[in-house]
Homo-oligomer: A and B are copies of this chain.
């Protein structure tokens, strides 16, 4: 492509409304433009990358044996009413009435539509397993769309749905999708992790998220330094210590702690480490209908964070987790929340594994303005049970049993999910099994945020000058910068020849043929901003020596390549598209 004839409107200044780096760089590199809140037009340069991502996703989905379909973006309300999601989905579902006042929505996902197709077209276990996918525009009416295409309202998604006669078959296809996703992100050239995810309210037995690692990622991922284990921090288990509990060496003392309401204040006041203190949180317990409210105490180490998802999975507490009010705490315990501790409580006490493994700990005295030091389990108080209640942290033993935990941040770009029969049951999607009996199919679903992948790739691969594309998804692989092309015939002729030759060899080439009004400095800066991975500079000085200058976007090294050796040189650096 000749840049002089191409709409690639780069910007020098960072647009003020763009917060994250990918949003800034996509605007500055002329990849996207905002049409309205959460709605973006993909300009030519951006679309080239989007299509390359799409193509890799499609090729690998095809290779996995999945069958591509294309479902409508606009969906009738009736199907969503069958699964009760018409009411449950909330305002993220963009609802429409057509000219005949019939209800529709612009689909944020397609479980209902594909299940409708499956119940109509699949009749026998012999037609299973089957996996359908589409690459299609979706709409989610986010309250606060932000971060450009990272969290846009309209976005491009690959969604797949598989149907099975048994859980075993579902698990087999789930594994195929796990492997397919790994191949896709490998081919995209991204540093990613498949992480165990919480299955949330949908239930289902297994779920993995695929995260592109980036410092700016919204999610924290815990992974082992010695194995493949990786999990969303919300999901990563902490293990009970295998060592025996340290023994008590101090006496229980009550100390006055005026003005101490937080762990930080406590540590400073007593000059102790937070890891030697306990934090006690009172939550609402699970009760039968018409029973009065019960409270439950959750105890973790002062340096740890409560994992609310883990806590809400305890049968003893309500889900979603509900904290007791100050009033309720005062009534039952008799103090403010800042003075709580496990000793002498009349309610159930559930203690995190690490907190249960402390001796001589410090905790609130359940009396305003006082704490206890030298406290010990068994000797001074009992707990009802121990449990995994906290977020895992760096250095914890990996729950897989191998190595210790590192924590990195990630951007979720894919999600695979064993749905089970949630949709097939409610929509009556059955097939006849081997015995001629109608049974609900098991389902899996598998998503990739195609447009989000583009933003995530930039979050992971950039520097202060702009984007650094992985080869596979660069809008162009090679950038050709002729210096003073409109003054030097030698430069012009070489540039034109090379441009033709490289294109014929199958490379994606961007030729910066803008005239002298665009300075070489601007050309270099634009090529770096846009992130073309391989750059060739053609200048009179080099040509006199028969030389072209090569530089990789990620490196400072400039390599002088004899013109005659250029094609061979490149074939070792750049793979043909």
Known: A68-B44, A98-B141, A121-B33. A39 touches B7 (CB 8 A): no
A41 contacts partner chain B, Cβ-Cβ < 8 Å = yes
Kindly supply a per-residue 1/0 record for chain A positions 1-20, scoring 1 wherever the CB is within 8 Å of any chain B CB and 0 otherwise. 00001110100000000000
Q: Which A residues, 103 to 138, have Cβ-Cβ distances below 8 Å to chain B?
A: 104, 106, 113, 116-117, 120-121, 127, 130, 132, 137
A546 contacts partner chain B, Cβ-Cβ < 8 Å = no
Known: A69-B43, A70-B47, A76-B39. A9 touches B94 (CB 8 A): no
Residue pair B41, A73 in contact (C-beta under 8 Å): no
Residue pair A41, B113 in contact (C-beta under 8 Å): yes
Chain B residues contacting A137 (CB-CB under 8 Å) are 73, 137
Question: What CA separation (Å) do A197 and B120 show in the bound complex?
Answer: 43
Kindly supply a per-residue 1/0 record for chain A positions 169-203, scoring 1 wherever the CB is within 8 Å of any chain B CB and 0 otherwise. 00000000000000000000000000000000000
A153 contacts partner chain B, Cβ-Cβ < 8 Å = yes
Chain B residues contacting A33 (CB-CB under 8 Å) are 117, 120-121
Q: Which A residues, 35 to 52, have Cβ-Cβ distances below 8 Å to chain B?
A: 35-36, 39-44, 47, 50-51
Residue pair B94, A96 in contact (C-beta under 8 Å): yes
Give the distance to chain B from A102, nearest Cβ to Cβ, in Å. Answer: 8
Chain B residues contacting A47 (CB-CB under 8 Å) are 68-70
Residue pair B153, A74 in contact (C-beta under 8 Å): yes
Chain B residues contacting A99 (CB-CB under 8 Å) are 91-92, 94, 141, 143
Chain B residues contacting A70 (CB-CB under 8 Å) are 41-42, 47, 50
Give the distance to chain B from A47, nearest Cβ to Cβ, in Å. Answer: 5
A401 contacts partner chain B, Cβ-Cβ < 8 Å = no
Chain B residues contacting A35 (CB-CB under 8 Å) are 71-72, 75-76, 113, 116
Residue pair A139, B40 in contact (C-beta under 8 Å): no
Residue pair A74, B154 in contact (C-beta under 8 Å): yes
Give the distance to chain B from A58, nearest Cβ to Cβ, in Å. Answer: 9
Chain B residues contacting A98 (CB-CB under 8 Å) are 94, 141, 153
Residue pair A67, B96 in contact (C-beta under 8 Å): no
Residue pair B41, A117 in contact (C-beta under 8 Å): yes
Residue pair B41, A76 in contact (C-beta under 8 Å): no
Known: A91-B99, A96-B96. A7 touches B132 (CB 8 A): yes
Chain B residues contacting A39 (CB-CB under 8 Å) are 72, 74-76
Question: What CA separation (Å) do A98 and B39 show in the bound complex?
Answer: 12
Residue pair B94, A41 in contact (C-beta under 8 Å): no
Residue pair A41, B154 in contact (C-beta under 8 Å): no
Kindly supply a per-residue 1/0 record for chain A positions 228-249, scoring 1 wherever the CB is within 8 Å of any chain B CB and 0 otherwise. 0000000000000000000000
Chain B residues contacting A7 (CB-CB under 8 Å) are 67, 69, 121, 127, 130, 132
Give the distance to chain B from A99, nearest Cβ to Cβ, in Å. Answer: 4
Q: Which A residues, 511 to 567, have Cβ-Cβ distances below 8 Å to chain B?
A: none
Residue pair B73, A73 in contact (C-beta under 8 Å): yes
Partner of A121, one of B9, B36, B65: B9
Q: Which A residues, 428 to 472, have Cβ-Cβ distances below 8 Å to chain B?
A: none
Chain B residues contacting A72 (CB-CB under 8 Å) are 35-36, 39-41, 154
Q: Which A residues, 47 to 95, have Cβ-Cβ distances below 8 Å to chain B?
A: 47, 50-51, 65, 67-76, 91-92, 94
Question: What CA separation (Å) do A139 and B67 show in the bound complex?
Answer: 25
Known: A5-B65, A35-B116, A44-B68. A154 touches B73 (CB 8 A): yes
Chain B residues contacting A121 (CB-CB under 8 Å) are 7, 9, 33, 43
Chain B residues contacting A50 (CB-CB under 8 Å) are 70
Known: A9-B121, A33-B121, A121-B9. A74 touches B44 (CB 8 A): no
Give the distance to chain B from A455, nearest Cβ to Cβ, in Å. Answer: 15
Known: A121-B7, A141-B98, A153-B74. A41 touches B67 (CB 8 A): no
Known: A7-B121, A33-B121, A98-B94. A139 touches B74 (CB 8 A): yes
The chain B residue sitting closest to A142, CB to CB, is B99
Give the distance to chain B from A452, nearest Cβ to Cβ, in Å. Answer: 15
Chain B residues contacting A92 (CB-CB under 8 Å) are 99
**Which of A116, A117, A130 has the largest count of B CB atoms less than 10 A from its CB?**
A117
Question: What CA separation (Å) do A117 and B39 show in the bound complex?
Answer: 13
The chain B residue sitting closest to A73, CB to CB, is B137
Question: What CA separation (Å) do A74 and B67 show in the bound complex?
Answer: 28
Question: What CA separation (Å) do A113 and B43 show in the bound complex?
Answer: 12
Give the distance to chain B from A10, nearest Cβ to Cβ, in Å. Answer: 11
**Additional A-B contacts beyond A7-B130, A43-B69, A47-B68 (12; CB < 8 A):** A5-B65, A7-B69, A35-B75, A35-B113, A36-B76, A40-B72, A41-B117, A43-B117, A47-B69, A50-B70, A74-B94, A74-B106
9 A–B pairs (Cβ distance < 8 Å), ordered by A: A6-B67, A7-B69, A7-B127, A33-B117, A40-B72, A41-B72, A50-B70, A51-B68, A91-B99
Which 6 residue pairs spanning A and B have beta carbons closest together?
A: A42-B70, A91-B99, A39-B72, A36-B76, A44-B67, A41-B71
